[in-house]
Structure 1
Amino acid sequence: MSRIRITPRFVLDYNVGRHHGQVEVVTKDIGATIGTEILSENGGRICSYKPGTRYASTAEEIAEEHLREALEMFVGGSLVHAPGLPVGEAVAVALRHATAGEQKWTPGEEDSW
């Protein structure tokens, strides 16, 4: 018999100039907080962290704020990236900078309290 697993996902679409992209936000209840993972369009992990909330909807709102901050860094030029880097990858780099202040979380690892 197959095991069934359902993972809720929240998608954020963005536009930078003529480039359209999206990131997926996956939240998981990991005890006293919600673990948040932001994935690229290809499903690769960009970053994962604990936003310090017990509510998935609040974690999704925080992820949206991080994406907005990342896009402002990218468009505003405050983040220097390699020339020729695809926009999606440059946004991923900016997202890692935007979430740098969050408590890190590695999905799949046991969290001890």
Structure 2
Amino acid sequence: MSRITITPRFVLDYTVGRYHGQVEVVTKDIGATIGTEILDENGVRICSYKPGTRYSDRAEEIAEEHLRKALELWFRRPLKSVEAMEPKEAVAFCLRVIVADEQPWNPDEEEADPWL
């Protein structure tokens, strides 16, 4: 029998100047909180954290707030290291800076479901 997995996904499209991109927000109920992953358009993890909420829709709103702050940080370019980066890399870097204060979460360390 095949294992079936359904993962809810939430995509945020953004535009900064002439640059257009998107990130995908994946939330997972991990007990007393929601785990949140933000992935680039290729499905590569940019960051993952616990936003301190029990509701996936609120976690998605928090991810949107983080992205907005990251885009503002990138657009203003106060970080010298961001200037030499490609736009996609710069957005990912700024997003990691913004979520640094969140409680970290590593989805790779999640235990496998004992029922499967």
**Considering the TM-score relative to the shorter chain, is it more than 0.5?**
yes
Q: CA deviation at 1:14?
A: 0.4
Residue equivalent to 1:21: 21
Amino acid at match of 2:101: G
TM-score (normalizing by structure 1): 0.92
Q: Between Structure 1 and Structure 2, which shows a larger proportion of helix residues?
A: 2
- SS of 1:53's equivalent in the other structure is coil
User: Per-residue displacement from partner, 1:42-101 (whole Å, max 9, x unpaired)?
Assistant: 111000000000000000000000000000000112233344421011000000001000
Percent of counterpart pairs with the same letter? 69
Amino acid at match of 1:36: T
Residue equivalent to 1:106: 106
What number of residue pairs does the alignment pair up? 111
Residue equivalent to 2:77: 77
- Residues 73 and 94 in structure 2, CA contact (< 8 A), matched pair in contact too: yes
Residue equivalent to 2:114: none
- SS of 1:35's equivalent in the other structure is strand
| Cα 1:73/1:82, change in 2 over 3 Å | closer
Alignment root-mean-square deviation, CA:
1.3
TM-score (normalizing by structure 2): 0.90
- SS of 1:32's equivalent in the other structure is coil
Kindly indicate whether residue 9 of structure 2 is the aligned counterpart of residue 9 of structure 1. yes
User: What are the ranges of 5 or more consecutive residues in structure 2 without an aligned counterpart?
Assistant: 112-116
Residue equivalent to 1:30: 30
- Residues 19 and 87 in structure 2, CA contact (< 8 A), matched pair in contact too: yes
User: Per-residue displacement from partner, 1:13-57 (whole Å, max 9, x unpaired)?
Assistant: 000111110000000000000000000111110000000000000
- SS of 2:11's equivalent in the other structure is strand
Amino acid at match of 1:34: I
